[in-house]
Amino acid sequence: MSPITAHLRNISHLLVLALLATLVMCGPSTNAAEQKYWELSPYRVQLHLAVDDSYRPQPELGPRLVADLQQQIRATIYPLWTTKITLATGPEKQRLLTQLDTLEKNPAGNFDVEKLTLGCDKQIFVIVVSTPLGMTLKSRELDCTTRRWGAVQQRQVRQAWMLSTQCLDLVCQTFSPLATIRPIQGDDKEKAQALNKNVLLRFRGSDLPQQTDLSFLTVPGEAYQPLMVRTSSSGEVKADSIRDIPWTYLTLGEKKEDGWHAAVHTGTRRPFGVRRRGRIEHLALAIRKPTGTTKVRFHARHDATQGLSGYEVFRREPNAIDSQPMGLTDTVGAVEVLPGESVVTLLFLRSEGQLLAKVPVVPGAKPVIEVPIADDTARLRAQASLTSLTERLIDTVAQRNILIARVRDRIKNGNLDEAQKLFTDLDNLPGRAKFNQDIKSAENRKLNHSNDPKVQARIEKLFADTRKLLGRFLNTRQISELQGELTTARREKSS
């Protein structure tokens, strides 16, 4: 790089910083200034490179690759990234080469997350391993703001002259853009409704000047994990103050005048609440190219060891109308979700026609998702009791109608003694009082009660609906009318 070029780039960088300071100090409001600061803030990227050239020794490979990457990033992605690249050696190199996919499981030394997040926005780990077929590249990211690890991305490079270009391309594929989540403008009611369907994403560094096309960072249709971050009074973010917004994903839509719009896929009514409060920020982190499957396990809310086995699971793509059956949950309450047409898939858990859960899933983003469900066992027991009772009710109503018809037939033929005998059999059938007693007995059983208000409401509705059946099919008026007919026939015969 010539001295003149370097000088011009330094001037450009200073102008950006000056513009940023002006906007922050003179902005119309604090929120607007904070937002503009976010959109003009570059990512501080620390790139760790580990090279294993044992198969084909090239002592100069590591230093040369560091220099090439630094130059390419400076010429293409800067100023969005301010990058520092280090060549790993010793134990750090060995651990990257052998444990890249498990760095978070045993954090120690240079890989302690809290240490890695100091003064940095992105930590990206890249390994290059020489093989008989060329070079194997692997890369993984730690987002320092959210403390979230990305999946391992990899590719094979056969031509040595493409190594640095392919390495940078893999790093860009690994890099997960970060955005703030904002409501789409409108009145308060419209905001509240829209926030459950669509949101506005403001990407970090999106207003910085670009040397080249960086559209690979914002890909329509790509999935995002929304998170809630609580900052301290000093603006610090601690690991225990960050959490995923449960059962919710976003998919990037199109860029409009007010920014990037994203669709909300959620299993909750208000995933983001009504409004922002205090030092709580909603962020969205891109899920880059998820691969593989995800096992979704449904279990009782009060006992995670109690899997919901044998429950129906349906699947629906976000833009589809009809759901497709996936089958039943296995013995531990789990079902495996394969990638579909869309990056996000909606799962519906049902039991006896009751919708128990709606869960959005990004197959491959997480190996396992645990979904606690309100214990439906009590409702199922109550339903089983009432099913048995209903079957007895149907049988009783059938016998009753047959006997009523036979009594009337005997009365018509003048066989009143036989009619009286049949009427006695009719009167001995279980009546409304008996069934009411059985319903009350089932309703009072402790096993048919749930501590979950929603489940208990469903149970109470089951008993109420069954009582309505009694009033409809075991009406005593029919018996009274038939008894009157029999009495009248006897009186007429005796006279």
Note the pLDDT tens digit of each residue in 196-232.
Answer: 689 999 999 999 999 988 888 899 999 999 999 887 7
Are 299 and 277 within one domain?
no
What does the pLDDT average to over 153-171? 93
Query: Is residue 233 in some structural domain?
Result: yes
Residue 6 pLDDT class (50, 70, 90 cuts):
very low
Rounded CA separation 445/85 (Å) = 68
Last residue of a domain, one of 174, 199, 234: 174
pTM: 0.74
User: Are residue 55 and residue 167 in the same domain, yes or no?
Assistant: yes
Quick one: 169 and 54 in the same domain? yes
How would you classify the pairing of strands 334-337 and 368-373?
Answer: unpaired
Tell whether 455 and 475 lie within a shared domain.
yes
Q: How confident is the model at residue 190 (pLDDT cuts 50, 70, 90)?
A: low
Tell me which DSSP letter residue 494 carries: H
Predicted pLDDT at 32:
56
Of the pLDDT bands very low, low, confident and very high (cuts 50, 70, 90), residue 111 is low
Q: Would 224 be classed as within a structural domain?
A: yes
Find the mean pLDDT for residues 441-459: 82
The answer to whether position 471 is within a domain reads: yes
Asked whether the predicted pLDDT for residue 4 surpasses 50, the reply is no
Domain tally, the chain: 4
For residue 438, give Cα distances in angstroms to 195, 334, 430.
48, 36, 11
* Residue 5 covered by a domain: no
Q: What percent of the chain has pLDDT over 90?
A: 44
Buried b / exposed e over 371-384, threshold 16 CB at 10 Å, is bbbbbbbbbbbbbe
Last residue of a domain, one of 152, 174, 196: 174
Average pLDDT, the chain: 85
- And the tokens for 456? 């208990």
* Residue 438 within a domain: yes
Q: Beta-carbon neighbour count of residue 312 at 10 Å?
A: 17
As a whole number, mean pLDDT of residues 190-199 equals 65
161 and 45 within one domain: yes
Q: Is the same domain home to 162 and 186?
A: no
Q: Is the pLDDT of residue 269 over 80?
A: yes
The answer to the question of residue 30 being in a domain is no
Any idea what the CATH number is for the domain that residue 134 is in?
Answer: 3.40.50
Name the residue range of residue 410's domain.
377-494
Task: Give start and end residues of each alpha helix (H) in 290-415.
Answer: 377-413
Q: Are residues 347 and 240 in the same domain?
A: no
Q: What is the pLDDT of residues 23-47, one digit of tens each?
A: 443 444 445 555 668 899 999 999 9
Both 489 and 388 in one domain: the answer is: yes
Domain boundary among 174, 209, 228: 174
- Would residue 411 count as lying in a domain? yes
